[in-house]
Structure 1
């Protein structure tokens, strides 16, 4: 298979919902390990630790794409132009996207830092190195995602992307953060549907704060064209063990909530289709 991801899909889409898990990869290539100035374990906070297990447990027959390569290698939720000149010899210091706070904070296309570890690399990467990562990892993933959404939209009239992530526990106690790029990536009825499911399962929710979604939602969310994209951030403490390292006792409840969210969004998409047909 092209790319560094796993694709779970029927030949013909069985659901308007498509699942994406871009940050749970645990494959750390030798070239990455050789460039580290910190222990490999220091990169773990960059992972959406084992949220792929949640997605796999919740999936029925929906298309699911899971990135295997670690986020530290390349971040699929950043644009190709979000290159940090402090770690990337091919980055143009004057050509960074306006207002790219993520790049400035060290979380660009190739992350420069990890929580609790500071700067993680002992050298900058060559332009050709980053270009290869973009060609082999970043573009194939998003191409597969575009194809999956287009196929779902063609069959059902509407496609809904759930871009699944996990987050450190928030002081507010919020367990689920939904992001829709402040209304630009998804229709309000779908976001409200997802929120109702999470709240109904007993989880405190928030919208867009502190996570509104990144490159994936900006690229793939096109509500006017019938493709909606919602980022779902889950508190890691809800499904991992006390060390936030391995799947814990809460994973079944979180997977059940996500399964219910998938089903509700699919029903809402089909209801919208029939509503439009009746007009």
Structure 2
């Protein structure tokens, strides 16, 4: 197993100038042989290994590409990995391909030879430059020196996007064969949000796609734990959850999914670049959050069994 390192000096692969095979495998899996818990963790934007071909095609500095990362989001589940919770953590950087997008969410402008038979979707995220292959960022402009060949994009889909989603689906199937209800927790980090007039700014945003991806009680439990740890939770605003939980959730049959967005200034340093002093408190919150959600899922199972 090639575990993503938890220290700032030795991240997965090389941050700059790494070999093209730095992303083999494209994600790391934990707890693969564990079936006694009804929870699967996903960290799709943790990748920070940038192969040479990505850096050579970039028209911006590495630090700009790193703005797409959920910086050190893999550390947010460190205690949970120590407890051997089932988890998938991406090594592929978001600048290369976004695992939280539909594989058809491609801006044709970025492709030099887009095949006419490929069915695409248009989304607000894509129009904002953040489709399957991120195209530009505000204040930085276009990310790439020119269009990308379809063969390259197709390779990224085949070798990075599809395997990640296939394994999530397969792992949920395995857990669901043992447990009547299962929960996917899709874990992200977000830029610090501004506070609204007279309100405390949200520290952690729980997304359940406005009730479409999980039973209401799960989001309520998550918000209660966050609040008990002294942080301000928000529900669905401004992040209700996106492709990953939409794709893999089906609460009507007992397959739930929540997205968790944690403000980066709570666990990174003042430059939002390296792990900071607040990481320990966040790890404690995450540990209790998952334990309480597991308890909630199991209590529902027992209540059903008693009927």
Q: TM-score, normalised by structure 2?
A: 0.87
2:94 aligned to which of 47, 59, 71: 71
**Alignment coverage as a number of residue pairs:** 278
Written as runs of structure 1 = structure 2, the 5 A alignment for 1:22-33 is: 22-33=44-55
1:28-107 aligned within 5 A: 28-59=50-81, 60-89=83-112, 90=114, 96-97=120-121, 100-107=123-130
Unaligned ranges ≥5, structure 1: none
The answer to whether the Cα contact below 8 Å between 2:45 and 2:98 also exists between their aligned partners in 1 is yes
Q: Which digits, 9 at most, give the CA deviation of each residue in 1:152-186, with x for residues without a partner?
A: 22212111111000000000221000111111111
CA 1:208–1:192 in structure 2 vs 1: closer, same or farther (change >3 Å)? same
The 3 A distance-change label for structure 1 pair 220 and 3 is farther
Q: How does 1:142-161 map to 2 (within 5 A)?
A: 142-161=165-184
Residue 154 of structure 2: aligned partner: 131
Would you say 1:267 and 2:295 are equivalent positions?
yes
CA RMSD of the aligned region, Å?
A: 1.7
Cα distance change, pair 30–82 in 1 and its aligned pair in 2 (3 A) = same
Hey, what's the Cα distance between the residues in 2 that align with 1:47 and 1:12? 29
- In the other structure, the counterpart of 1:235 is 263
Contact 1:15–1:61 (CA under 8 A) maintained in structure 2 = no
Q: Offset of 1:92 from its aligned partner? A: 6.4
Equivalent residue for 1:277?
305
Structure-1 separation of matches of 2:292 and 2:38: 11
Query: Is the 1:74–1:110 Cα contact (8 Å) retained in structure 2?
Result: yes
1:88, distance to aligned residue in structure 2 (A): 2.2
1:67-112 deviation digits (Å, cap 9, x = unpaired): 00100000000001100112123276995425x1001000000001
Where relative contact order (Cα < 8 A, 6+ residues apart) is larger, the structure is 1
The question of 1:208 aligning with 2:244 is answered no
Maintained 8 Å contact 1:178/1:206: yes
1:230-279 CA distance string (max 9 Å, x none) = 00000000000000001100001111111101000110111010111111
CA distance in structure 1 between the aligned counterparts of 2:210 and 2:116, rounded to whole angstroms: 29
Distance 2:116 2:77 in 1: 37
Secondary structure of the corresponding residue to residue 192 of structure 1: helix
Residues 14, 62 of structure 1: 8 Å contact kept: no
How far off is 1:61 after superposition?
Answer: 2.1
* Unmatched segments (≥5 aa) in structure 2: 2-23, 196-200
How far 1:37 sits from its partner (Å)?
0.7
Q: Which moved more, 1:152-161 or 1:224-233?
A: 152-161
Query: 1:86 and 1:56 mapped to 2: Cα distance?
Result: 39
Instruction: Give per-residue Cα distances to partners, 1:107-154, cap 9 Å, x unaligned.
Output: 000001235322110111111111110000000001111122112222
